[in-house]
Structure formats: structure tokens, C-alpha cells
Structure 1
Amino acid sequence: MKLVILESGAKARTIKKYLGKGWMVDACNGHVQDLPSGRGTKDSSKAMWSSKAGDLPNPPWSWTKKAEQVMTKIVNKAQRSGVDEVYIATDPDREGEFIAWRLSEILSDFDSVYRVSFNEITEDAVYEAISKPRNLDMALVEAAIVRRLMDRLVGFRCSKFCRSWKLKSMGRVQTPTLGYIVDREIERDAHIPIEFHSVNGHSNNVEFKVKFHESNDEEAWRDDDGKYFADRTSDSKRARHALEALQTTGELRLDSSKEGKLSRKPKPPFTTDTLLQTSSSTLGWSISKTSSIASSLYQSGHITYIRTDSTRTNKNARDDVRSLINEKFGKKFLGKGIGESGPKKKGNVQDAHEAIRPTNPKIETLDLEKDESTLYKLIWSRFAASQMSESIRERRSLIFSCKGLIEEIFGTSTWRTHSGWEEVFQWSSKSVMDKPPDIGFEIGSTWNIDVGPEQTTDFTKPPRRFSESSIIQQMKKDGIGRPSTYVTTVTKLVDRGYVSKEGSSLIPTDNGRILWTEVAPYYNQAEYFSEGLFSYDFTSNMELNLDNIESGDADASTKWHEFSDVFRSMHNIALEKRREKPTLRQIQYVESILSRMDIDQKTEVIGEREVADLSGDEIREFIDGIGDELQSSLPPSEKQLSTIIRLSDKLGLDLTEFLSGLGVSDISELTGGRDGSASNAIGNLIEMDRSSPATEKQVSTIVSMSENLEMPIEQAMEIAQTETLETITKSEASNLISDLKKLISSNRRKGRKRSR
């Protein structure tokens, strides 16, 4: 018996159909082990692990959620079935190789463990991969490890740093990506609209416009970037005169016609970013929807691997689709085609996998769910188009005149003479002109105005906000992130409240602005570093370093130590700079104290100054110097009062009687501050709550866990150092549940060792 292990159940089901008897096919459901996270262990709170020069850190790899149970089940089943060969077939990329590495460690007790990979889930590809197993690519694994270590270090240290502003997190790629969105919004805020007027209309399906100025005219209209527009003017009277002249005559005279041709080349097959962008513009889909449906198509064996920057395609696939094109449309629809290497690659492009294409290009449509069928059709059309001829249009550049008008009038007539690659996009495109106007282009001929004319008065628009797809294009352009991280990076910004979505637009929230404009600059100190931690160049260079590790052109440990050394310097400087100014949390704390003082007390403490004007040292001195006398004179905060009322209600206490026992006759006599009577009352209430009987949920959990351990309930009570379930307190129950969890985990580990 042989075992193939993949990441997803959908892929496993597809491959099971190919392999049949004698094979077990199972899924590990993604990452099985990763850097420690969550709570409860010392390592889960570590930002980094030390290592000697020349070595990578060796952190403990912890089970991801539910992975231990999944893998235990797979291993036990494989051992019972007599499996002697294991084929690890995780995704053919950096993360897939990391998963394969961890699986190879977990499955090391089996006689033979092989690594196989394929770019498409077809029967031929699967059998070919199994017939040619390979070793683990440790360069890929090390790149994945270094990426994790960098993200962990930045995420832990910088996220803790930004909490002084009450913000959730910062990230190595996440924060620079946010920067694009915030900077664009700042540009929009600074935009000053410029008014313009234009006059246009239609004649014989040709749009015409009045030309108000030559480019060298001092009054020529230009936008914010200095771009010249012939059909715009700032002179409303001039525009009005042109409109009236056209309305009066109702016709144009053709003065010149210049012939030309226009050809449009097909685009290359889809990469990850272009698929996300095109499905957004063509289908109106979000990036998460496109990513999800594309994954489903890949896992079902209909398309090739979806995380790629390459436009390269397989020759057999190209031959298949070219044969279909010739058969369906004719030889004149075949073009040179984008071949083995695709167009010339730019920087920041990885070419490890083919472009996204159908696994069987002879299948033009699929009978699937509507969305899956639509996306497949888009992918097929793009791949087929890449092998087709250019579309060709005839073009006439026209100049008209109008009686009573000194300005020229211009327009362009265009009609398609050969559809070429556009033929396979007829299903998603608008109809186009396929013949010239019936009137012809005889000089001196009269063209009647069919629609309009009309005068438009408008203002220049600010730069467009980024959409999900355009921000990914920007990330790719600057080398920020990679195909496997594009979608998750943008999704995180929305989930963590730094960006909101309005239609297709991404808008920074107040927290997003604060993070980029106030917090990130602490790590982008130009006086100390040529490239800041969250600068686009620095982030791009880190991605290139990972690519070089992956290709074997750079040493993983060297790049890790270089990064951690630079980060240490950046972080220390950021901490030093932060101490020079009060943090938002410090300001809010001091303001909350001052708000409970009368005017004389406040003036005595900080004079006429505002809290935000205090230096970091001054505000720390103020906080440290709040003495017992001042603390005891402060009234309790609203939060303290609400906590006292909530806890006393929960415990069913008479509040007046409870306070009397503390020497306070009424709630209005409570004092604030850290050592005031309100704080003392809260401490007593919390202790009373902990000493109250355990909840029904706690009791049922203890009973269930004891049964799992086959432990008498009396023995569990001994561990809790209490007599019965009826007398156990909340605090004791909480501690007991933690102890029982540890025992259950320990038993599972022992069971796995025995099964091996």
C-alpha cells in the first residue's frame, strides 16, 4: 500500500480518482507545524531565537490548530493498512516545500518517504511526478524559514511598539502596502480641482470635439501634471460661443482625413495578479472570490497552479489550443503566440511555474457551477488569445469646420477589419464598429450633427483610490510581497481595521493613517538609514533576498543575521525616538487624571500647557510623581464605577452593605487612583467572584475531561485539592481544567509513540 498526502481534501479527491486501488490519498489541510503561537508556552511569546553565525535559528515547530489530530489519524490508518511508501505532494512553491519538510519529519518512521510535485492536477502529471520523485529542495525550505523568522521578528516587536497608539499590529509587508493606500489618500486631500469647459457631439457614429487651444498657446488648458488637453478651456464664454455656433448650423464640413491602421496585440496568459485584476474589471469580483474559485478549479484539475508570476506556457498546451483555433476560426486567426519564455521578464518576477492556463486547452467551456464556469471561460479565453493574431482596425483622423466658428473640430472614426484574438472575448466585450460610416470621407462633404452638441463644465478629479486589484498591481510593480501573499496582505489590512472598502475602493481608516504617518516613521529614520524598515525599497530587497536564498544564490543564515542585526538597530532607535515624545496612551492616561481635577489643581500640575505639548520625559515624570495624596483626592473613573456596579450585581450583593464593610458609607465617597478605595473595592469583588461556586459549564467540562482520561471524579477533586464538585470554586475549576488538558495532551503523545 502507498500513501499520497496533499494539502487539501479537494485535491485528494481528484487524485484518488486517478490512482485507484493500492493507494491511500489523504489531506493534511495545509500547514501542520509552524512557529509557536497562541498562549501557554514560553516559546509562543518569543520574537526570535538565537543562533550562531553560519547557522539559522532552530525554533521548536509547534502543531497548528487540529493538525496533530489530523496527522495522528492519517499515520494510524497508514500503519494499519501496511503503507510502506509515502509520497508528499504538497504545492510546488516555497510554502508547499516547507509543509513537505515538516511532513517528512512527522512521517520519518515509514520505510520510504518521497517528495513529488506537479504544476497541474491531471492524470498524466500525477503519474509522471510519482515516477520521478525528488529530494526536498532545502533552499526553498530555508527561504520559507527565513521569511517566517523575519515576519515573526517584525510582527512581534513592531506590533508591541504600535500598541502605545492603541493599534493592533504592524507587518513587514502589510505596513508598506498600507503606505500606498494612505499616501494616495493624502494626495487626494491635497488635490485642488481645476475647472474646465468642453464642447462635443456625435455625427455618423463619430464623436467630435472642439479644439480650443494649441499646445503652445499661453491659455492652453493643462491639468495638475502639466498635461495638455486640446478640447478643454478655462474660458466659459469661448465654450459657450462654440456651442451656440454648432447649435445654429447643426452641421460640420469635413476639411481633412488622415488614414491609419491600429493593431492590438493579445495579452499573455494570466499570472496571479493579472487574473485578480481582470476578474475585478471584467466580472466585478473581489480578489477573495476570484482566489477561492480559482483554487477550486485548480484542485479539481481544470487549471494549472494559480500562484505564479510567469507568463511561460507548456508547448504541448500551446499546440493543442492552436490546433483548436485553426479548426474553429481559420489559419488567419493564428499569431506568433507567446511561447516558452513569454514576454521579456521585468525585475521582481519569479518564473518557477507556468502561467495560469487550462490543463486541457481543447475544452473551451465546463459544465460547472456558474462562477466556476465563468472564471474557467475567462482563463481559457486569455490563454487562447495569447496564441492568436492581432486585431486590426482602420482609423481616420478627421478635422471639421463649422460656420461661425474659428476653432477646429476634430474626431476619429475607427472600425475593426480583423477581430483576431478579440474573437474569443466576444462573450465578455461590447459590440464594435466593423465598417466605416456610410457617408464616406470625401473632403468638403457635409456631416449632420446627430447627437448634441453639448457643453460640459467639470473639474479635474483627484487621483483614483486603490482598488483591491490595483493595489496588488502596485505591490508587484515594486516587488512588495509575492503571488502567495497578495490576497492575504490586502485582506489583513481590512480585517485589522486599517482600511475600509467602499465599493471597489480601499480607504484608509483613522487608525490606518496614524499607523503610516505617525508610527511607521519611527522605523524609517533617514538620518540613520538610507532605507527604512517599511520603505518600499527595503521591503523589496528583502523579497529579493528570499528569492536568492530560494535559487541558491544567497546563504540563508547570512541573510537572516544581516536582517536581524539591521532590525535590532532600527528598533532600538525607534524606542529611543519614542521616548522623546509622549505616546497616545500616556497622553490619554494623563488627560483622564486631569479631567477629574478642578481648575486650580490642573494649573498647579501643568500650568497653562496642553498635555500633548509635554515631552516624553516630562509626562513620564508626571505619571511617576503622582503621589498618594493626589491619588486619594481624585474621584473614581467612570470605568471603575461601572466595574463595581457590574460585579456587585453579578454576585447579588447589596452595594451599600458591601461598601460599608470597606469603611465607605456611600458610592459617592469612593476615591480614584491606583490605591484609592474604588480600586480596593474592585479587588475585593474580583476575589469574591473567583471564590464563588464553579459555573455549570466548568463542571460539565471537568466531568467530560475526566471521562476522557478514564479518571474517577474523586481523583480529579484530589488534583484540585477540594472535596466535591459541589464545593469547587471558579478559580479551582479553572486551574483543574488546565491540568486535565495537559494530561490529555500527554496521553496522546504517548499513544503516538506506542503506535510507531
Structure 2
Amino acid sequence: MKLVIVESPAKAKTIGKYLGPDYRVDASKGHIWDLPVKTMGIDFANHYAPDLEPRKPEQTETINRLRREVAQAECVYLATDPDREGEAISYHLQSALGLDPEAKNRIMFNEISQKAVNEAIKNPHYINKGLVAAQQARRVLDRLVGYTVSPVLCKKIHNNLSAGRVQSAALRILVDREKEIQNFKPEEYWNVSAQLEKPATKPQFKAVLAEKDGKKLKLKNKEQTDEALAVLNTNNYVVRNVKRSVSVSRPQPPFTTSTMQQDAVNKLRMSSAVAMSVAQQLYEGFDIPGMGHVALVTYIRTDSVRVSTDAVAAARARIASVYGSKYVPAKPNVYVTKKQAQDAHEAIRPINVELTPDSIKDKVQRNQYLLYKLIYERFLASQAEKATYDAVNVAIDCGNYGLTATGKTLTFDGYLAIYGEAKTKDKDKDDESADNALLPALTEGDVLNLIKLNSEQKFTKPPARYTEASLIKAMEERGIGRPSTYATIMQTLYKREYVGKDAKALVPTNLGIQVTEYLEQYFDEIVDVDFTAEMENRLDAIEDGGEPW
């Protein structure tokens, strides 16, 4: 018997389906060892060595059961997730089960499919000590921060409070934005537009006041606005020039962990925590009537937008068969992973593009269907042709003032036929933009009729509060934490009552503001966003072997 050990029973069931009767697949049920709960658990005199123990009482039985299975196995494979946490679990299993540390017993796969699992079994390798060291450094660092600072907060403010290396930096981002909003001083401005028509030609259209004496104009008060209206009411409107162009919109890359969470929040109205939980189900596999235990997507913790050549070819073939060859670009779309990102895994994508969301819609839970559909369509669209538009920009003179009218017409939907853009920003109903208007045929020198002038007083608005999606984006851009931990961070902020919600907006509570101000005063580095980001860079350096942990 050959033994394969993974983290979760669901993953074990999916892998067991592909390996056959010669293999036994069992689960460690997550980390078997961790730092103790009631003490610091770090040996400061011995290079900060962690004092690990079974994570839960029942993990002792798990270890004993796995030891019995190891004793009966002719060989053992450690098939935990392909990341820092998974590598640490494998390393701890290797130690706890008495496996040869010099043996090639570590296997990894980016997707749980027949091909990927069998390929991994054929190519075992050594445990990556750099990944293990990075995980250990991260765990010890988080323990030092949490167990040093949290008791101080409980003593100085009140019980059941916590601080964390990433948690506190994320909270500071929210608190800083809230203070920016509170200190914001609105400024007056005015919008002016003209409803115009070309004589005997439909349709009427709107042009927006944009210039005075050839320079960009922003009306700051009623006096300036009345001055402009006087000219606009008494002078001819003449087309100065008409510029026509073709514009394009390119598809976005397939999902990373961060962008998947953002779109799940924006498009599906899921919380980041729900999105990650459902994504884990899609990756590990679950029972689907008529299909058995099946995994649907590749590994869900990734910073990369890279995709295998086989997956690209499958996507292009699927697009051609469903939408037609004109929707397939001449060459595959290639996306570049961000410089600071880890590129060990592919982007998140469906394992099999022939398994469409609609084919399983009535067989899976609603959230499973919705997230799979989101991942599926985003991936397929990433290999589709760009969308094209006919654009027109018209400059109109009236006295010494200039107005603009713009129109844009979709001429080929391309990737939008598969994955339309999310309307994630609340558009100002009173926005005076004339974009995307339907315009009549206009030529230079045309004299236009004024139908109506519109003017409106407005005031600048403070920056918007963060939503879960925009906070995740900000954390990623500023290098705070890892995308796979963002959902957990959000849950902690809610649990500690540091943050509340106003519709979709995240609002720091008085307690959250008080904690942040206290940390800024006495533990400045803990809430320093740049310091937290630098710690992430150093963890990456440990992982790559460039720095001892």
C-alpha cells in the first residue's frame, strides 16, 4: 500500500478517486503542530525557535493514526497545498511520522485532476526548506506581535482586543481614510451644458462647457457661471472640429486570489470570507450528482496570471466553437505577473473548460455555481479578442468659450460577449459627462441651434470609504499581507468590533479608531504600512533563500 497524506478529507476523497486501490489517501486536517495557545511558545535564547505542540487535542490521535498507516506503507507521499503553509504541514508531518528527511516524498499539483495527480506521483521532490523557514518566520513574527501588544490593549482599553502585524496595518488604512473624510472641506464648482441640435437633423445632443480662451475651465462660483451663461445665450454654436477614432478595450487577465475576491464582492455581493470558503470547495472537490467527487478549479491561492499552454489552447478552442473564430485573437493573449508577486502557480482557472457552469447549475449550491461561473467566464474571456468602438469627439465654439461632445459606439463586443465589465462604481446621477451620447453627423463649420442651457451648483466630495473589495486592492498594492489571508483579516476586524458596515462601506468604529491611535502612539511600527510591507518582502527573501529566518 502506498500512502498519500493531504490536509483535508474533501481533498483526500477527490485524489483517492484518481489513484486507485493501490493507494490510501488520508488527511491531516490542517496543521498538526502549532505554537501553544496559553504561552508565547518561543525560545528567545535559541534563535527564536518555536516550541510546537499538537494544534488541537484530537491532532494527537491524527498523528498516531498516520503513524500506524506509515508503518504499513511501502512509500509515503506528502501532498499538502503548494504554498508556505502546505510546505510547513508536510515538513511537520515528515518529522512527526519519522519519515526520511532526505527522501523525495513531497508531491505538488496546481489542480486536482487525473493528469496532474499522476504526474505529481511520478515526480516527487524534496521538501522546500526555504518555504518552511518563511512560514516559520511568519508564524513567530505574528506571535511576537500578537502576544506582546494584545495584552497591553486589553489592559489599557478593555478586554478581548487584539493587535496583529497585518490586521493593525489594515485597520490603520481604514482609520486614516475616515479621518481624511472627517477633515474634508468641500469646494464649490458649477457644471454647465448645452442641449444642441443640427438644423433639421436628429438627434439632439448634449455638449459640456470645457474651455475659456482656449484653456481648460472650471467654474468655481455663481459669478463665473453667470458670466459664461451670458455668452452662451447670445452667441452662435459652431463646430470647430470633429475627430473620429477607433478605440479598443482589452480583456483582463484571469483571476489571482486578490482579483477573484474583489470581483466576488463587487459582482456577486459575497463577502471575501464567503468567496474564499466557496473557492476552497471548488478547488478541493465535492460530490456532484452523476459525476462523483470532482474538483472544478485550479489552486486558489496565487498571485500569478500565468496560464499553462494546454489551458490556453483549450480556452481558444472553446471560444471558437461557442462564439466563432472571429472571437479568437490571432495569437494567444499573454499576461505579465506583477514584479513583486509569487509566480509559483498558475492563475485561478477552471480545470476543464468543457464543464460549463450551466451544465452543473442545478447540481451544486448557488454560491458554488456563481463563483465557478465567475472564474470560468473571466478565464475564457482572458483569451478572447478585444472589443472595439467607433469614437467621435466634437469641439464646439461659442464666443470665447469651448464645449465638447463625445460619443462612443460598440462595433465588436469581443471578450465582452463572455465577461462584461462590472459596474462597481456608483455613478453620480447628476454627472454632466456627455460620454457615449448618440451624435448626429457633424462636420467642421456646422452652425448648431441652442435648445436649452443647463447649469448646476455642485460641491467636491470627500474620498469614498473603503469597501471590502477596494481595501483588498489597497492592501495588495501596498504589499500588506498575502491575498490568501485578506478574508481572515476582514473577519478579525469585524469580530473585534473595530469595523462596521454602512451598506457596502467599511466604517471604523470608535473602538477601532481608539486602538489605532493608541498603537500609533506607543507601537508605531505595528501600524506602519511601509514597515508591514517590508516584512512581507523579507519573508519572500527567506523563502528564496536570500536571508536566514
TM-score range for the pair, normalised by the shorter chain length: 0.7 to 0.9
C-alpha distance in structure 2 between counterparts of 1:33 and 1:194, whole Å: 57
Which of 331, 337, 362 aligns to 2:332? It is 337
> Residues 290-689 of structure 1 correspond to what in structure 2 (within 5 A)?
290-300=275-285, 301-335=295-329, 336-339=331-334, 342-343=335-336, 345-346=338-339, 348-365=340-357, 366-367=359-360, 368-400=364-396, 407-426=401-420, 437=438, 439-443=440-444, 454-524=454-524, 532-556=525-549
- How far apart are 1:255 and its partner, in Å? 4.3
- How far apart are 1:338 and its partner, in Å? 3.8
Which of 250, 262, 273 aligns to 2:258? It is 273
C-alpha distance in structure 1 between counterparts of 2:274 and 2:315, whole Å: 27
The answer to whether the 8 A contact 2:130-2:542 is kept is yes
Q: Tell me if 1:198 matches 2:191.
A: yes
Q: Which has the higher contact order (CA 8 A, sep 6+)?
A: 2
Q: Which residue of structure 1 lines up, in the alignment, with residue 290 of structure 2?
A: none
Q: Which residue of structure 2 lines up, in the alignment, with residue 644 of structure 1?
A: none
Q: Which residue of structure 2 lines up, in the alignment, with residue 29 of structure 1?
A: 29
Q: Give the helix-richer structure, 1 or 2.
A: 1
Q: Which residue of structure 2 lines up, in the alignment, with residue 234 of structure 1?
A: 220
Deviations 1:223-270 (A, max 9, x none): xxxxx7x4x522325546877998999x97644311222222222111
Q: Which residue of structure 2 lines up, in the alignment, with residue 707 of structure 1?
A: none
C-alpha distance in structure 2 between counterparts of 1:252 and 1:293, whole Å: 58
- How far apart are 1:551 and its partner, in Å? 1.2
The answer to whether the 8 A contact 2:387-2:415 is kept is yes
Q: Which residue of structure 1 lines up, in the alignment, with residue 432 of structure 2?
A: none
Call closer, same or farther: CA 1:132–1:238 in 2, change over 3 Å: same
Call closer, same or farther: CA 1:437–1:170 in 2, change over 3 Å: closer
C-alpha distance in structure 1 between counterparts of 2:276 and 2:206, whole Å: 39
**Segment drifting more, 385-394 vs 411-420:** 385-394
C-alpha distance in structure 1 between counterparts of 2:382 and 2:50, whole Å: 46
Deviations 1:404-443 (A, max 9, x none): x76433210111222222221259789xxxx994732234
Q: Which amino acid aligns with 1:396?
A: V
Is the partner of 1:68 in helix, strand or coil? helix
Q: Which residue of structure 2 lines up, in the alignment, with residue 122 of structure 1?
A: 113
Q: Which residue of structure 1 lines up, in the alignment, with residue 274 of structure 2?
A: 289
C-alpha distance in structure 1 between counterparts of 2:508 and 2:213, whole Å: 40
CA RMSD of superposed structures (Å): 3.2
- How far apart are 1:213 and its partner, in Å? 4.4
Q: Give the strand-richer structure, 1 or 2.
A: 2
Deviations 1:313-346 (A, max 9, x none): 111111111122233334443334343xx32633
Q: Which amino acid aligns with 1:31?
A: H
Q: Which residue of structure 2 lines up, in the alignment, with residue 210 of structure 1?
A: 209
Call closer, same or farther: CA 1:360–1:244 in 2, change over 3 Å: farther
Call closer, same or farther: CA 1:453–1:357 in 2, change over 3 Å: farther
The answer to whether the 8 A contact 2:5-2:79 is kept is yes
- How far apart are 1:494 and its partner, in Å? 1.6
Q: Which residue of structure 1 lines up, in the alignment, with residue 17 of structure 2?
A: 17
C-alpha distance in structure 2 between counterparts of 1:449 and 1:426, whole Å: 37
Is the partner of 2:49 in helix, strand or coil? coil
Q: Which amino acid aligns with 1:208?
A: A
Deviations 1:440-479 (A, max 9, x none): 22345577789x7643322111111111121121111121
Q: Which amino acid aligns with 2:77?
A: Y
Call closer, same or farther: CA 1:45–1:427 in 2, change over 3 Å: closer
C-alpha distance in structure 2 between counterparts of 1:392 and 1:235, whole Å: 40
The answer to whether the 8 A contact 1:321-1:362 is kept is no
Deviations 1:639-671 (A, max 9, x none): xxxxxxxxxxxxxxxxxxxxxxxxxxxxxxxxx
Q: Give the count of matched residue pairs.
A: 515
Aligned identity (percent) is: 34
Q: Which amino acid aligns with 1:99?
A: I
C-alpha distance in structure 2 between counterparts of 1:3 and 1:449, whole Å: 81
Q: Which amino acid aligns with 2:347?
A: A
C-alpha distance in structure 1 between counterparts of 2:107 and 2:185, whole Å: 58
- How far apart are 1:305 and its partner, in Å? 0.8
C-alpha distance in structure 1 between counterparts of 2:231 and 2:270, whole Å: 46
Q: Which residue of structure 1 lines up, in the alignment, with residue 245 of structure 2?
A: 260
Which of 26, 42, 53 aligns to 1:48? It is 42
The answer to whether the 8 A contact 1:51-1:58 is kept is no
Is the partner of 1:234 in helix, strand or coil? coil
C-alpha distance in structure 1 between counterparts of 2:449 and 2:32, whole Å: 72
Q: Which residue of structure 1 lines up, in the alignment, with residue 131 of structure 2?
A: 140
Q: Tell me if 1:64 matches 2:56.
A: yes
Unpaired runs of 5+ residues, structure 2, are: 197-202, 286-294, 425-435
- How far apart are 1:152 and its partner, in Å? 0.8
The answer to whether the 8 A contact 1:213-1:233 is kept is no
- How far apart are 1:382 and its partner, in Å? 2.0
**Segment drifting more, 414-423 vs 106-115:** 106-115
Is the partner of 1:280 in helix, strand or coil? helix
Unpaired runs of 5+ residues, structure 1, are: 38-43, 217-227, 525-531, 557-756
- How far apart are 1:75 and its partner, in Å? 4.9
Deviations 1:463-509 (A, max 9, x none): 11111121121111121101221221222112112111222211111
- How far apart are 1:60 and its partner, in Å? 3.2
- How far apart are 1:199 and its partner, in Å? 2.9
Call closer, same or farther: CA 1:440–1:101 in 2, change over 3 Å: same
Call closer, same or farther: CA 1:555–1:205 in 2, change over 3 Å: farther
The answer to whether the 8 A contact 2:112-2:284 is kept is yes
Which of 143, 156, 160 aligns to 2:147? It is 156
The answer to whether the 8 A contact 1:206-1:413 is kept is no
C-alpha distance in structure 1 between counterparts of 2:303 and 2:544, whole Å: 15
Q: Which amino acid aligns with 1:157?
A: T
C-alpha distance in structure 1 between counterparts of 2:240 and 2:111, whole Å: 59
> Residues 672-711 of structure 1 correspond to what in structure 2 (within 5 A)?
none
Q: Which amino acid aligns with 2:350?
A: P
Deviations 1:41-73 (A, max 9, x none): xxx322631244xx5514132332532344445
C-alpha distance in structure 1 between counterparts of 2:178 and 2:262, whole Å: 21
C-alpha distance in structure 2 between counterparts of 1:406 and 1:293, whole Å: 60
- How far apart are 1:379 and its partner, in Å? 1.6
> Residues 172-191 of structure 1 correspond to what in structure 2 (within 5 A)?
172-191=165-184
C-alpha distance in structure 2 between counterparts of 1:64 and 1:244, whole Å: 78
Is the partner of 1:45 in helix, strand or coil? coil
Call closer, same or farther: CA 1:207–1:554 in 2, change over 3 Å: farther
TM-score (norm 1): 0.63
